Each structure stands twice: as structure tokens, then as C-alpha cells.
Chain A
Amino acid sequence: MKKILIVGGGMGGTILANNLARRLRRELDKGDVKITMLSASDQHMYQPGLLYVAFGKAMPDELYRDQASLLEPGIEFHVDPVESFHLDNNQVATVSGKTYDYDYIAIATGSQAKPDNIPGLLEHGHHVYTEEAALKTWEALSSFEGGNVAIVTGVPHKCPMVPLEITFMMHDYFKDRGILDQVSFKYTYPIGRLHSLVNVGKWAEKEFDRLGIEYETLFNPKEVDGDSRQVHSEEGSTLDYDLLIAIPPHKGMDTIESNELGTSGWIPTDRATLNVEGHDNAFVLGDTTNLPISKAGSTAHYEAEVLGENIAAQVKHGRRVRDYDGKVFCFIEAGKDRATFASFNYTTPPDPQPPTETVHWFKLAYNQLYWNSVRGLL
């Protein structure tokens, strides 16, 4: 029997498990293959939905499903996170004290927001990367009566469109509340343009100029002084705020770092095969990789599809099918009722088109279609 172990029950791990279960259905039913998933939670959250929670446009309970209900029949699922990885022995040990051995392992443990890595940010900033934080942001936005809104971005972070999206959405939110003329926006970004993607940055600059949103580039938040309501940057500048919105820096999960699989919890990964470097039967996907591409759900999705094909083919025929080409697709909300998107890979930059209402509605539709996507049906 071939044993496939998937560590992590987020988007990447779940799509991979379901993809493999379909491709290996006959082998699963005959008992020739076993697929096991180990996760830290019995719940699955649609993380991009938290952005909408911050504006009162979604309630947190809409964003959860039972993880077991999302998995194909025959996938063995345990809420029992891995405590130690022994890749040289094809084995992991879990928090409950159990040991799992495998023929193939895929690690998809994800990342975590670390606002506490910037002094003062946890106490004085608002973000949308946990349910609790998104609800607090909603409270802050709904009670804000005007003043300086500062947007700061830590590095690295997941969902690379959030800095722009939350700014555009705040603009329209305060406009609808009738207080836009009492709000001053100051958007900052770590590098020398408004977004990593050159074309997206150019588009955003025109939109910001049109909407009267001020911006400062080469701004990496170093510390927040809550008493004076100021953010100091690594580059030596200072930003005043009455409301501080942050995209916090992220790290991989602690178990990756404590097992010395990768600095800051990012595992060194082959950009084409998605192998853990130095291990032919171990793979990484989603935020957990150290690849120089967006930490985004779509990245995990496309990587999971490649790995699903490759691991299934290896089980059946002893050889893999294709390389991952770096594909990423990101929606970009451009306000309350317009959106565009960026699609790119390792060799082809994106060329986002002007935002439309149609793309916005497709994004809202995707927020529901996600549950089919994660089942591997879309």
C-alpha cells in the first residue's frame, strides 16, 4: 500500500487531498492507496472573506465549514497537528503522540500574521488576518468619525492585493457614511511603487490621484508609538494616524521553524517540482514554500493541481507529469462595486484591465464558489 500524508487542512492541502482521491479512486477503494490528512482544526475558514467582515459585508460564521464535510470519501482525516517531522525516515509525530509513516508527504501548514513583530502594531493597529482582528477592524471603521487613516504594510505578507483593496474599500465605505470629506488617507508601501506588480502599481497611482488618496513609497513600518499616534519607518520617516490599518508581516508556522525545515517557517522548495529541497518524496505548497511568488490562495490552488497530477502519476506509473509554472491569479477589489484581476506566472507579467462591476460580482460569486473550488470541483 502507498501512503500519502497531507499535513495541513487549508486551501492547498484540501484541494490536493480531493484531487488525489479522485485520481486514485480505484486504488483507494481497493486499499492500494491510503490518503491521510492531519490538521490543526476541524474547521475550514475561507480566509479572504475576512476582508468583507471588516466592512460588515460578511459575518464570520458564513466563512466556516466542517473540514470533514469538504473531503472526498476515503480520505482519513485527523485533527492532530504534526509536532515533529522526520523526513529522512519518512515519518512524522503528532501532538497526540501518534506516529505516521508515508511514501509521499505534502506539507501545507500555511502562514500566520505576526503584528507583534513590529513594536506597537498589535496594540494600536487594525488588520483583517484573523476573525477577531477583522471584527475589531469593523468596529473601528464603523465608529470612525474622521481624521488621518494610515495604511502600512509589513513584509512578507499574504494576499498581496489587500493593501490596495482595503484602501479602495475604505474610501467607498466612508463616502457612503457621508464622512469622506473629513478623512485623509495616507497609503504607504514597502517598495518604490504602489504595488509589487508594476502595472497594478501604475493603475493604482492613477486611481489614488483621482480619489485624492495620498501615498508614500519605500516605507517599511519599524515601530508604532501609540501615545503620539505615529508610525516610524525603517527608512527614517514618520506617519501620523488617527486610525491605523496594517497588513502585518507574516511568518510560516512555528512547527516548521522548530523542526529546522526552513528559516521563518518557509521551507526551501524547488520552484518547478515543488519538492522539499533534498527530498524526492516530500512536497510543499501554498504559503509554506520559500518561493518568490505571491502568498495567496490561488497559488496554493494551482500548486495543488500540479501536485495532484504528479503524485497520482508517480503512484500509478512511477513518473511525474508536469512542472509548476508559477501561476497566480488574484482578484483586486477597486472599491465597493468594481474589481479587476491580475494573472501571471514565472515568465509572463500581468496586465490588469480597468475595473468593472462584472468582475466585482464574479469575485462575490467566487466567495461562495470557493466551497466547490476547495472540494476540487472548480
Chain B
Amino acid sequence: MSETKIVDARGSFCPGPLMELIAAMKEVEVGDEVEVLSTDEGSANDVPEWLEKVGHEMVDNFQEEGVYHIRARKAK
């Protein structure tokens, strides 16, 4: 059974949501999911771009009450 780790990166300008996700991905096992919460508009683009480039799977990507929720599964 895989687990979902929540990374609350709301209000993060530095290091920022993507950097928080990269750090979190190191801490979980292959198959586990990480969900990033972000208030940064750029996250909707740069997180999926990195996931695709490195080869992890994007599970979900939506905005709710001004917060972006991006969920990814560690693939390797």
C-alpha cells in the first residue's frame, strides 16, 4: 500500500514548491505519492515540467480556493 506525503509549500518563495517537492521525493519510496500544496502560480507549470523531464508520474493537478494541489507518484 503506497502512502501520500503532503508537502505544504504555501507561501514559499524560497526554496519554493518545486524545490520542496524535489526534496520530498528523495524521502519516499518508489510507488509512494507526494502532494504539494502551493500558492505560487508558476507551480502549475514548473512542477509538471520537472516531473515529465525526470520521469515521475503526475497523478493529479487542480486548484482549490487559491491553492494548487499537485500530486505525483515516484516512478524510479
Q: Which chain A residue has the least Cβ–Cβ distance from B42? A: A198
1/0 contact string of B40-76 vs chain A (CB within 8 Å): 0010001001100110000000000000000000000
1/0 contact string of A291-312 vs chain B (CB within 8 Å): 0111000000000000000000
Q: How many residues of B contact A (CB 8 A)?
A: 24
Report which residue of B12, B23, B50 has the largest number of chain A beta carbons within 10 angstroms of its beta carbon.
B23
A218 x B53 contact (CB < 8 A): yes
Decide if A278 is an interface residue (CB 8 Å cutoff).
no
Contacts of A193 on B, CB cut-off 8 Å?
46
Top 7 A-B residue pairs of the complex, sorted by shortest distance between their CB atoms: A346-B11, A292-B12, A196-B14, A292-B9, A196-B16, A156-B23, A192-B46
A191 touching B12 in the complex, CB below 8 Å, given contacts A155-B23, A218-B49, A235-B53: no
1/0 contact string of B20-40 vs chain A (CB within 8 Å): 101100110000000000000
Q: Give Cα A308 to B8, complex, Å.
A: 26
Residue from the list A191, A263, A349, A350 in contact with B18, Cβ < 8 A: A191
Instruction: Name the distance in Å between A250's Cβ and chain B's nearest Cβ.
Output: 9
Besides the known contacts A292-B20, A294-B14, A342-B14, 8 further A-B residue pairs in the complex with CB atoms under 8 A apart: A155-B19, A155-B23, A191-B19, A192-B46, A234-B54, A293-B14, A345-B11, A347-B11
Residue from the list A190, A192, A350 in contact with B13, Cβ < 8 A: A350
Contacts of A347 on B, CB cut-off 8 Å?
11
A160 x B15 contact (CB < 8 A): yes
Instruction: Please give the residue numbers on chain B whose beta carbons come within 8 Å of chain A beta carbons, in ascending order.
Output: 7-20, 22-23, 26-27, 42, 46, 49-50, 53-54
The A336-378 residues at the B interface (CB cut-off 8 A) are: 342, 344-347, 349-350
A235 x B14 contact (CB < 8 A): no
Contacts of A263 on B, CB cut-off 8 Å?
27
Contacts of B11 on A, CB cut-off 8 Å?
271, 292, 326, 345-347
Contacts A/B (CB < 8 Å), 7 sampled? A156-B19, A192-B49, A196-B14, A196-B19, A197-B13, A234-B54, A292-B16
Contacts of A218 on B, CB cut-off 8 Å?
49-50, 53-54
The A185-237 residues at the B interface (CB cut-off 8 A) are: 190-193, 195-198, 218, 220, 234-236
B16 x A349 contact (CB < 8 A): no
B54 x A160 contact (CB < 8 A): no
Q: Give Cα A345 to B42, complex, Å.
A: 18
Contacts of B26 on A, CB cut-off 8 Å?
155, 249, 264
B50 x A191 contact (CB < 8 A): yes
Decide if A328 is an interface residue (CB 8 Å cutoff).
yes
Residue from the list A292, A326, A342, A344 in contact with B15, Cβ < 8 A: A292
B46 x A196 contact (CB < 8 A): no
Q: Give Cα A283 to B62, complex, Å.
A: 33
1/0 contact string of A151-176 vs chain B (CB within 8 Å): 00001100010000000000000000
Q: Give Cα A362 to B7, complex, Å.
A: 36
Instruction: Name the distance in Å between A206's Cβ and chain B's nearest Cβ.
Output: 19
